[in-house]
Chains A and B, each alone.
Chain A
Amino acid sequence: MSSVLTASTQGSESAVRSAPALSCRDVRVSFRDQEVVCGVNLELDTGQWLGIIGPNGAGKSTLLRSIVGLADYSGAIALGDGQTPGAADVALVPQSPIMPKGMTVAEYVLLGRTAHLGWLARESRADREIASSVLHRLELTAFADRFVSTLSGGEAQQVVVARALAQQCPVLLLDEPTSALDLGHQVSVLELVDDLRRTEGLSVLAAMHDLSAAARFADRLILIDHGRIVAGGRPEAVLKPDLLSAVYGTPLTVQPIDGELVVLPEPRRRAKPPKETP
């Protein structure tokens, strides 16, 4: 197995087994006077997939953005060793990444090495090795010379994941990674991330809209509403119909199918027209 991430995972194996890969303590983010993340605490264990669920505007993306330093926050966000995370520690797969015109897939993946550029802003030989092994690992070699702006949604999402992998971070953040994809590509992107988590020892923190996918892939879920965590724990503990219906503002049911939880909108009951009284 060509391990892309050996360099960054070796340390965490022995030293930080007990400490979480990433922790947030009382994280608060305000825009103007409105608090959109209101005191979030969470711990992401090494090798774990933690799913963040909640309706639009709940603060999921803002929480992820504050972890990569894109939003000003109060409170503490720390890695296992107590450091504030940087671009060499946490890689973000954004919700709607910009695909620049005329940039090839290989160039795009090389951007993942930005944090490691030397004084002359040239990628080292090692940087190039990492980029090419990521391309190879994700079976993107055939795409390598194509322009990113010409890729389909599914291909583009793989390429963005490849760029994040090239950052060689022990923690991967995904912001609605499958929102623009058809069902088949949704599954394949999530399975790819899950494979990488297992083979490379990544820890994954993912904001997810698809609750059934969240139930299938995440080890633990936290449910956020109006910037607050309203539930957290194993998927079967969080995905309760009453709770979800209240948070999402619409009746939802949770059905076990083949041992997996599937969250569905409750069938719409048409109000029967009142019988005309003669």
Chain B
Amino acid sequence: MADASLPTTALTDADAAHSAVRRAFGMSIGAAVVGVVVLVAVGLFSATSGAAGLPVKGVLGALFDWVPLIGVDSSLSTTQENILFEIRLPRLVLGMLVGGSLGMAGASYQGVFRNPLADPYLLGVSAGAGLGAVLALGFGLDLSWGPFDTVPAAAFAGALVAVLASMAIARGGGASPATLLLGGVAMAALFSAAQTYAIQQLNETRAREVLSWLFGQLNTTGWKQVGLLLPYVVVCGVVLFIHRRHLDVLRVGDDEARSLGLDPARSRLVVIVAASLLTAAAVSVSGLIAFVGLVVPHIVRLLISHSYRVIVPLSALVGATFLAFVDIGARTLLAPSELPVGVITAFVGAPFFAAVLWRDRWSTT
């Protein structure tokens, strides 16, 4: 055999095969490190910009001081510390959680539906949440329950109803992606129509209030919203992270996936439920922030890898960075009044997305 006569080349070939598999298996560490560094930088920039300018050094000092067992003199006044810990940081962290949730849910939806146009609102989450919020806000219902305020509770319930209805008319998560998608389209249309009709019935003040919620905003009252969202981020995030490999197997189609030993219907159901819960939770605290869930996974895919083992976690990271960055603009561009963050995500995201698409086309043709 050729291998026996040329032991050295055989060895290097085996090594080359080995390292190729390691590259295929490995998470893009470099990209993850860069992502974390950028996230931290954006976070720091966000914490220090705004009407009450906080010095970078003081913010860093206060943050280190906050870590147990480390005592640093932050040089911030008590007022400044209050602004940092009760206004800036909750909003920053909420933006990161919402952006990360939408990015990760969008990536998961795109994998499950094998459709590049899939976004977290595909199965009617947005329309359902919208209808719930409109009904609650507009008609002054009181649905507050425990720590849950009326609007988040109503939006969350509406989102889940819409997703369940979509899955029900597609006869469960076991249905083919195309059937589910059509079920989602039908339910989204129905809920949107109901929502539009409900808004039309409202008086102007109430309608304006509802519309500003629909645009998406990151208003915080202390750490409350973060506390509401965090459990969903942890649980659903872990589930989606674990199932990212299943999304890669689904890329070869349901039949081949099953012959390789995956149960496509079961994997799809788990991923859809986790991604929908995550989206519903994010929407309930922040309204409908467009574009993040659609565009962020594509940016990761075009710039780094087509493998969901990379796309799912990095979409969370990039989504968090993107929304934190955009929110700086929402807070400061028209200060003291505020721009809806959902509008800026589209204004910033669309041209950036176009640039990435063009780059991709030029480099492949």
Q: Which chain A residues have a beta carbon within 8 Å of chain B's beta carbons? A: 1-2, 65, 68-70, 86-88, 91-92, 94, 97-98, 100-107, 109-112, 114-117, 119-123, 128-129, 131-133, 135-136, 140-141, 144-145, 167
Contact = CB atoms under 8 A, between A and B. Distances in A.
A1 B2 CA distance: 11
B248 A107 contact: yes
Contact of B20 (A2, A65, A112, A141): A141
B24 A121 contact: no
B21 A135 contact: yes
Contact of B17 (A88, A98, A144): A144
B260 A132 contact: no
Contact of B261 (A1, A88, A129): A88
Nearest to A101: B306
Interface of B: 1, 3, 13-14, 16-18, 20-25, 242-246, 248-249, 251-253, 255-262, 301, 305-307
Given A87-B261, A167-B260, 5 more contacts: A65-B255, A103-B251, A103-B307, A128-B25, A135-B21
B1 A1 contact: yes
A114 B262 contact: yes
A190 to B, nearest CB: 20
B20 A132 contact: yes
Contact of B249 (A70, A114, A140): A114
Given A107-B248, A111-B252, A133 B261 contact: no
Contacts of A112: 260
A2 B14 CA distance: 11
B248 A111 contact: yes
A70 B259 contact: yes
Nearest to A135: B17
A258 B58 CA distance: 89
From B20, B243, B253, name the one whose CB has the most chain A CB atoms within 10 angstroms.
B20
A117 B245 CA distance: 9
A106 B256 CA distance: 17
B299 to A, nearest CB: 14
A120 B256 CA distance: 21
B17 A136 contact: yes
Contacts of B21: 106, 109-110, 128, 131-132, 135, 144
